[in-house]
Structure 1
Amino acid sequence: MGQPDLSLLGEVSSIDPDRDGICPNFNMEDPVVKNGGRPEVVRTWYCLQDPKTGSLIEEMTACSFCVAHINVLFPCLKRIFAPIANGQRLLATCDLMTQGNGQQRCIEIVDQMAAVAQSTLETKTRDITPLIDFVRKWGPIPACQQGKLVSGQKQYSFPSTVPEFTACEECYVRHIEPLYSQSPQPAILAHLEEQEAKPGGFLCDLFSPRLQSYFTDASRTNDISTFRQKLMARNNKMQEIEIQLRRMKQEIQQLKAQERMHRNQMIVAQSQARIRSTQWAVSGWTAPPIDWGITNVEMAKANEKAMQAAILQDSMTDLENEWIRYWK
């Protein structure tokens, strides 16, 4: 933001949460947060307020902790948020600063705020209309799940020509909807259908730059056959890698269980060897050297299993990197 020093960073780090606490999206102990989601909690919530009508923009709710951050980052935007239901504590989620799949949306919203703040400082007039328009457009649209299973959402597909293809609503709005304004329209759009949520869910085929390039080429050339072949090859590779990763994960779990067994046996052998040495000492006879043979054997077996598990873990990492580099 062009600040001359780090004072802004200090101001942000010194923000104290109110009685409602930190943003629920940053409670890393919550299982919903661990899975990249937004947990529902009861607290005071805020919405953007349209200065022209006084109405709240209900497409996005924000917690007090996130609002406090925005007020510190952009002082000229103070009071653009108003409490919902006159400050009553309600059950809702924070849509402003999110992690997981919604992180990109969060960055875009903050970018819009930064643009409004910059314009306000330059023109001495605050107009949050662009921010409101952005939130109204994107607020109702679920964030793309980035390759994870999508459930309970409408989908877009080519059932008659490329049945392997499915796009989520966000990717449709970002990458497909603008094509309708082209002249001439890509012929591939004639086969596109909007479908309601189906049991079992789906995987989005437009979330990555690679998949987007496949679709862009098909839209430009109308080469449906090549587009379908690429998707089928990718899907086959995904299934193959998933099977390999599951098998490797099971083998690692088995190896670690065997490692633990040998380490437990090593501890038992150590204890027995010490007991035998103590018994010799109590008897008054000169004790022979402690026999660590069985202990060493079990320790060697445990180390061998640990090494095998580590090698297999490296192979899993290599396979995951191969997927990201060549297929994702």
Structure 2
Amino acid sequence: MNHLKTFTLLAALTALFVGLGYLIGGTAGMLIALVFAGGMNLFSYWNADKIVLRMYRAQPVDETHPNAVVRTYVADVVQMARDAGLPRPVVAIIPNDQPNAFATGRNPENAAVCATTGLLDMLTREEIRGVMAHELAHVKNRDTLTMTVTATVAGAIAALANFALFFGGGDDRERPGGIVGTLALMILAPMAAGLVQMAISRTREYEADRVGAEIAGDPASLASALQKIEGWSKRIVNVTAERNPASGQLFIINPLAGRGADNLFSTHPATGNRVRALMELGARMGLNPRRPAVVEAAPGSVTTSVPTTPSQAKGPWG
């Protein structure tokens, strides 16, 4: 069903692009915008993984790392990738106190999965396995490719809207609604494309939760990890993500402050909804459900370092 929904949303995005070109009435602007957006996104398709890994200062690690927790993290990722029938991905750590993780790469043969130092500090081994299984699910589902295609079409729509006044294909009589209609399209078409893009992103998160829980065989640990990550992400600022908000949709939990709601403008589903879906999946798998204690952020509290609590297990970085 999620694959069908993604296909439907992509078809709607394509139809919006074609319809916008028709309503504008000219072909020159449409072709220029398409070539520009396609070239930009083709570059991103081949280089986005390198760009984002460099942006977050990701450091590849392997089984020879001196820290035992990191070696276990690598071994678990490699074992789960093998069990899922995936090539071995690049396994990396990101020097960031906020617990979070993401996957990148244009296909399973060129994939990288990354966990922050905060994630390895604050979560149990089972929870880390659940999170990384979610990221391997993104690789298995080829979500990076899906989002690249989505970005290409959405970028073309935005470019068309920007060029509409200059490449409108003639006078106002050739454009439905004239100049007013064109101005409306310039505003509404990119908004509609952005909403579809967000809907696709949310759909892929639910699907990655499901597949990841099956890869790890432990929906409850992934549910527990999601709640912990959300709680800590409200307290710890991810400075790199705040400076590059477009990269926020890569992470398992939105790293940006104050954007946790499951509404029309959110790239991530509400964590509570994801937890409920995982618990229902665990029940269907015949597993004993358990609900973790949630780490709640104090009102108005923000820090750029890892808070220390008596119950927090000492991780590999401290």
Could you tell me the TM-score, scaled by structure 2's length? 0.26
- The structure, 1 or 2, with the larger RCO (C-alpha pairs under 8 Å, 6+ apart) is 2
Could you tell me the TM-score, scaled by structure 1's length? 0.25
Computing the radius of gyration over CA atoms, which structure comes out larger, 1 or 2? 1
